[in-house]
Amino acid sequence: MNRANVDKRSPVPLYYQIKETIKEKIEGGSLEPHERLPSERELEEDYGISRMTARRALTELESEGYVYREQGKGSFVAEPKLRQGLLQLTGFTEDMKNRQMKPGARVLENRVIEPDEELANNLSIDSGSNVFLLQRVRFAEEEPLAIETTHLRYDLCEGIKDYDFSGRSLYTTLREEFNITLSRAEQSVEASLADEFEAKNLQVDQGDPMLITERTTYIGDEKTPIEYARSTYRGDRYKLFVKLKG
């Protein structure tokens, strides 16, 4: 790896300068996924810094998802994060196909339930109404990336529980089989840490960073909600972005 000099007179901390230098090389493609990075000792010698400064630079890169470590082997460049836009109303299947990646799913739950008060309010229905619950682990190129827990108003898509969603798109099924047009959605995003269930299904360690989205989706009249969904994405593989205009 070509080194860059650090400015020891700069008010910018040395660990941050080194971290940004390595990050730029990763994002620019000069460092490829799974390529080994210099060790703490090598960084110490190359930059004339302390071992603690080198360790912090690598730790920060790891926490941001640019680097992963293997015990006894060192630090390596992680797979690039998938950029998830917040402006288009698309599902996981469409997102992966747009990236030329093969989508997949493992169904964890597929059943009709009675909603609690909070869920009924989110879907603007009575608590005694039926809701279709679909929970899936979502894959891209056979790698688990997310857990999606979706709730649909069953009165608008009665019979949808009979479809096998291990190999088909939910949104495409709504459009083609139930003639439902999705018009808009309201979505929130928050950070979290993987619990035991998420760690097991996403093949990460308990306590690893996660991104949580909650989405309420509306049909064509833009007033009637049909879906309330909560999705958990691996923080090491996802980056959310929004375009802003001035």
pTM listed for this prediction = 0.68
**What amino acid occupies position 107?**
V
CB neighbours (10 Å) of residue 110?
17
Q: Where are the domains of the chain?
A: 14-77, 82-241
Whole-number pLDDT of residue 90:
67
Q: How confident is the model at residue 56 (pLDDT cuts 50, 70, 90)?
A: very high
H or E segment and range at residue 145: strand 143-153
| DSSP string covering 97-123 | HHTT--EEEEEEEEEEE---HHHHHHT
Q: At what angle do helices 51-63 and 14-28 cross, to 10 degrees?
A: 40
Mean residue pLDDT of the chain comes to 87
60-110 per-position pLDDT tens digit = 888 777 888 888 889 988 877 666 555 556 667 777 776 667 888 999 999
- 102 vs 243, higher pLDDT: 102
The count of C-alpha atoms lying within 13 angstroms of the C-alpha of 54, restricted to the half-sphere facing its C-beta, is: 17
Whole-number pLDDT of residue 78:
82
Q: How confident is the model at residue 137 (pLDDT cuts 50, 70, 90)?
A: very high
Which CATH fold topology does 82-241 show? Chorismate lyase (3.40.1410)
Angle at 194 between CA 191 and CA 200, to 5 degrees: 150
Architecture of the CATH domain 14-77: Orthogonal Bundle (1.10)
